Structure 1
Amino acid sequence: MIRVILADDHTILRDGIRALLAGEPDMEVVGEASHGQGVLDLLADTSADVVLMDLNMPVLDGFATMPLLQEHYPGVRVVVLSMLDSENYVHRILQAGALGYVLKSAESSEIIFAIRTVAVGHSFLCTEVGMAVLNRLVKIPNADAVLASRKSGDLSSREMEVLRLIAEGLTNAEIADKLFTSKRTVETHRQNIIEKTQAKNTAALIRYAMSQGLIE
């Protein structure tokens, strides 16, 4: 039996994953936490094989939690379940000790397979992340990828949406409402956009977007 702890600050997502894993005869959810400190507190009294963990959490996020898990609970394997698709984030968290990385947009079957794979000590990347890494490594020519790199500084489709809404003058809260997500998620997207485009502030970001033809 694979004993799993779920760590995500969105209750509805944890409920969905718990329901998904309830249908697997070899898996059992033994605890839930809304942040990394909650995971550490759970592990003090609860035996677990795998932690399925978001990166973007309050109190103690995934990046801060990972080294503490490695130090205090090295036998616990970690699968990151995140909406963040930046290769930089994938690289950082895998270097920190996580064995798996799955996007929240992945099929449920990939999440289940990731847990089983990591539970036996093997690494796992979901299809979308794995193909992005492979394409970069072997430099497979792809017209869409080339166009995206020329125009967007490697922005994801969701980051492009956020960029356009920023340029329209919407606040983070307004963007969150429009995209049906949290304000903190929008703030993360905004920071990722600024890092990728190397714009120093919002005004510079809008000028960049206009110069690249991303917005009118």
Structure 2
Amino acid sequence: MQIGIIEDHLLVRDSFKKLLELQDDWQVTIEACSVAEAKLAVALEQPELFIVDISLSDDETGLTFLSYLQEKYPHIKLLVASMHDGEPYVSQALRLGALGYVSKRSAAEELIDAVQSVAAGKRYISKDVQFTTAQPSQAAVEQLTKRELQALPLFAKGLNAKQVAQELGMMPKTAHVHKANIYAKLEVSTSFELLKIAIEIGAVQLDELA
């Protein structure tokens, strides 16, 4: 797997690279210290996954780069590793397309698991990361069918319709219908918004995302 890192502290970047490249077939192909440098690099070569820091020493933040990648290269999986492990940073990063969020304080222990989860299209949020949840109406939740309630936490964790279909033993087309119904009934438009509701109603526990 090819991995990119945008991190303005050389020691942190080097430690991440050494840790990642201990894994078989993992290679850090992009090392950038600024958004401008990362944009130039990714235009030439797109890694499968990018690890992004929020605070950078230049004028643009990691959030800017997340937005850029989500728009230009949506196939690249995104994982944030930051000292900012609370709001509003976490919600902003997840809303901008990050599947995972790891605190730098626990990155040494959790980075490999986080990369593996995000590379597989699953969410990963380290236990010391805090973010606010949503308050869904009870009436909206009660509209969901039994099958939709089974599918809700899977979609909230970032699984696609094919993966949900495999988990629940149904056709992908049926899973797509369930997803559309869930989003419509709960009035959400992104898997991040769905995740916040899933946590609030207890369908997903935070420790399931780590």
TM-score, length of structure 1 as denominator length: 0.58
Distance 1:32 1:48 in 2: 11
Matched, 1:9 2:16: no
1:46-90 Cα shifts (integer Å, max 9, x gaps): 130111110001242111111111111111111111001222210
Q: Answer yes or no: is the 8 Å Cα contact 1:53–1:80 preserved in 2.
A: yes
Instruction: For 2:131 and 2:95, locate their aligned partners in 1 and report how far apart those are by CA, in whole Å.
Output: 15
Q: Structure 2, unaligned stretches of length 5 or more?
A: 135-210
Residue number in structure 2 paired with 1:113 = 113
Superposition map of 1:81-160 within 5 A: 81-129=81-129, 132-133=130-131
CA contact (8 A) 1:79 1:99 kept: yes
Q: Measure, in 1, the Cα distance between the counterparts of 2:78 and 2:26.
A: 15
Aligned partner of 1:7: which letter? Answer: I
SS of the residue corresponding to residue 122 of structure 1 reads coil
| Kept after mapping to 2: 8 A contact 1:54/1:62 | yes
Letter aligned with residue 75 of structure 2: G
Amino acid at match of 2:29: V
Deviations 1:71-130 (A, max 9, x none): 11111111111001222210111011111110110052311111111112111101111x
SS in 2 for 1:44: helix
Asked if the contact 2:114–2:124 (Cα under 8 Å) also holds between the matched residues in 1, the reply is yes
Secondary structure of 1:42's aligned partner: helix
Equivalent pairs, count: 134
How many Å apart are 1:40 and its aligned residue?
1.5
Instruction: Specify which structure has the higher proportion of helix.
Output: 1
TM-score by length of 2: 0.59
Aligned residues: percent identity? Answer: 30
Select the structure of larger CA radius of gyration: 1
Residues 85 and 46 of structure 1: CA distance in aligned 2, closer, same or farther (over 3 Å)? same
2:44 partner SS = coil
Distance 2:107 2:10 in 1: 19
Q: Which has the higher contact order (CA 8 A, sep 6+)?
A: 2
Following TM superposition, by how much is the alpha carbon of 1:38 offset from its aligned partner in structure 2, in angstroms? Answer: 1.7
Q: Which residue of 1 aligns with 2:39?
A: 40
1:37 & 1:77 partners in 2: Cα distance?
19
Distance 1:85 1:44, change over 3 A: same
Alpha-carbon distance in 2 for matches of 1:69, 1:60:
14
